[in-house]
Amino acid sequence: MSLLRAALRLADAGWAVLPLDGKKPTTGLTPHGHKDATTDRRTIRKWWAEGDWNIGAPVPDNVVVFDIDPRNGGSRRALELAAGVPLVPTLTTRSGSGGWHLYYVRPWEHVSGGKLPTGIDFKSNGYLVMPPSIHPDTGQPYRWNRRPIEHMTLELAQLVLATPAERRDGGVYDIGALVSWVRTLPKGERHNGLHWAARRMHEAGASTRHAEQLIEAAEDIGFSPYEARRVVESAQEGSRS
């Protein structure tokens, strides 16, 4: 498939794209870098008429990406060991240098990759090189492993949650992000996820009103009022001990 055709297909699927010279934005065509990315077919055709560019795409707002680089010691196994659980299969690209980009649903608004093993970068903004671009050093193409973009496990999400010490907005921890995240918990992870969120909320000094919001979120995903309150109160008692 030609790079122009691949760029158009990505745009049709809702991915804004931009031309890359190797792995970098083309300064002449996109002076503002990845902020100039677009889904407009006419603009895309005009860009690729200038050259057979590689394809870049900004990280969508609702997505995060683990960038695993074996050349710097990164591996999927290292990420699994850090999380303590197997990785959920998800949309993946194999880079032209032998690495991996793992796409997951963004678990909450504020995220940080500071707890990840060596050789694994974490991207919640910026852009990535997309298949079938050619790696400028190896000459090898980027390739898709096409799957739906999945939710990461609770254990993996804990590695990228920005802690109160890492991010404060005027001194107020983002309680709303935890409430929103609880509403996304899949079956099988709801009890542990609610318990974990309640502990984090209590540690952040949340008010009784915030605890009630968490209970309401739990009810929205199937907890009875009694069950939701019992889990939240149990987590708060545990964090005091």
Q: Is-contact 156 65, C-beta < 8 A?
A: no
Burial class from Cβ neighbours inside 10 Å (0-12, 13-18, 19+) for residue 68 reads: buried
φ, ψ for residue 61, nearest 5 deg:
-60, -30
Q: Is-contact 235 229, C-beta < 8 A?
A: no
Direct distance between the N- and C-terminal alpha carbons of the chain, in angstroms, rounded to an integer:
59
Supply the pLDDT for residue 169.
44
- Dmax of the chain from CA atoms? 65
Q: Please report where in the chains the tokens 């299969």 appear, as a residue.
A: 89
Supply the pLDDT for residue 14.
94
CA–CA separation, 13 and 216 (whole Å): 35
Q: Please report where in the chains the tokens 């802690």 appear, as a residue.
A: 163
Helix 3-12, helix 41-49: angle, nearest 10: 160
CA–CA separation, 129 and 90 (whole Å): 17
User: How does pLDDT run along the chain (241 residues), one tens digit per residue?
Assistant: 699 999 999 999 999 999 999 999 987 899 888 999 999 999 999 999 988 999 999 999 889 999 999 988 999 999 999 999 999 999 999 999 999 999 999 887 777 766 788 999 989 889 999 999 999 999 999 999 989 999 888 888 888 876 544 344 443 446 777 787 788 887 877 888 888 888 878 777 777 888 888 899 899 898 998 999 999 988 877 655 5
Supply the pLDDT for residue 238.
61
Supply the pLDDT for residue 170.
41
